[in-house]
Amino acid sequence: MKKWRLDFRVWHWIHATVILGLLGTVFLRKTFLSWRTNSEILSQKLAEMNMEVSIEQAKVLAKAIRHPMWEWHIILGYALVVLLIWRISLFFTDSGKENYQNFKEKSLHKKMVSFGYIGIYTTLVFMAISGFTIHFYEVLGLTKDIAHDIKEIHEFVFNAVLIFVPLHIIGVLIAENRDERGIISDMIHGGDKLNSLKER
Ligand code: HEM
Ligand code: HEM
């Protein structure tokens, strides 16, 4: 019997791609497509072409350039919601429960890993709820100020995702090279349930 069922593996890799995509959109928003930097470049270059624009106009232009990229944050946001619902349904399968049973037999390290996963799932549910609340604040009858406050929290909690992702990737790479050989390839071909029972 496989440790990770095919649907669980497919879920994991699509989920990883979507989260990396969401982080990618944030990276672009804060760097190459930052309205602050780009509005300055625009007003400077336009001035060189003898076209004066106000700071406000330059800001509008910079945000318009950023817009098509940021739409991906929302599209991937919808994908995240689907993936979280999919993950909940996977809890009813052996693979979905794999990391969350026989807690007493687990080493301290394995317990921490499992709590880490529960932590990231909780964080992602929060990110999805807060993200959609900001996106639909008008429909929900919220004021711009409240939407802005929620955005500040959404942006703060983003740090938890930013910390989890590299820790997780470095963690499985270290495990693969030390005492959990095959941990990464198991998530590709499914692994063997019997081996995983021996490792607990
Ligand atoms: C791209 C490099 C990645 C690799 C090589 C990788 C590998 C793995 C492996 C081997 C496991 C099983 C570990 C175990 O049993 O404790 C796992 C589980 C997990 N991974 Fe990744 N992962 C990657 C990216 C990501 C990303 C970007 C996320 C996004 C949050 C993520 C979220 C998770 C979660 C939540 C679990 C726990 C699954 C469960 O509920 O049992 N992974 N990953
Ligand atoms: C892993 C999950 C997520 C992460 C790490 C994340 C991260 C962020 C960050 C850092 C910001 C602030 C960007 C800035 O102002 O510089 C932001 C804004 C935002 N996010 Fe997310 N987000 C996630 C999920 C979602 C989801 C599921 C939605 C739902 C549609 C969403 C919708 C939004 C919206 C509407 C904004 C405000 C954009 C604006 O003010 O123009 N996010 N997100």
| Residue 157 CA to its chain's centroid (Å) | 11
Which segments within 67-142 are labelled E, that is strand? none
Cβ of 127 closer than 6 Å to ligand 1, yes or no, is no
Domain 6-199: CATH class, spelled out = mainly alpha
Q: How confident is the model at residue 24 (pLDDT cuts 50, 70, 90)?
A: very high
Closest ligand 2 atom, CA of 77? Answer: 27
Q: How confident is the model at residue 195 (pLDDT cuts 50, 70, 90)?
A: confident
Which ligand has an atom closest to residue 75 CA?
2
Q: Residue 110: CB partners within 8 Å, gap ≥ 6? A: 200
Cβ of 128 closer than 6 Å to ligand 2, yes or no, is yes
Instruction: Report the chain's terminal Cα–Cα distance, integer Å.
Output: 17
Query: In the predicted model, is pLDDT for residue 194 greater than 80?
Result: no
Query: In the predicted model, is pLDDT for residue 74 greater than 60?
Result: yes
Closest ligand 1 atom, CA of 114? Answer: 16
Tens of pLDDT along 133-143?
999 999 999 99
DSSP label at residue 88: H
- Cα distances (Å, whole numbers) of residue 84 to 9, 57, 121, 166: 14, 40, 8, 20
- Cα distances (Å, whole numbers) of residue 25 to 36, 72, 75, 157, 194: 16, 7, 11, 16, 40
* 8 Å CB contact between 196 and 175: no
Q: What are the residue boundaries of the structural domains of the chain, listed by start?
A: 6-199
Q: What's the pLDDT at 196? A: 67
- Nearest CA owner, ligand 2 atom 10: 155
Query: In the predicted model, is pLDDT for residue 197 greater than 70?
Result: no
Cβ of 74 closer than 6 Å to ligand 2, yes or no, is yes
Tens of pLDDT along 87-114?
999 999 999 999 999 999 999 999 999 9
Cβ of 99 closer than 6 Å to ligand 1, yes or no, is yes
DSSP per-residue string spanning 22-86:
HHHHHHHHHTTT-HHHHHHHHHHHHHHTT----HHHHHHHHHHHHHHHHHHHHHHHHHHHHHHHH
* 8 Å CB contact between 35 and 55: no
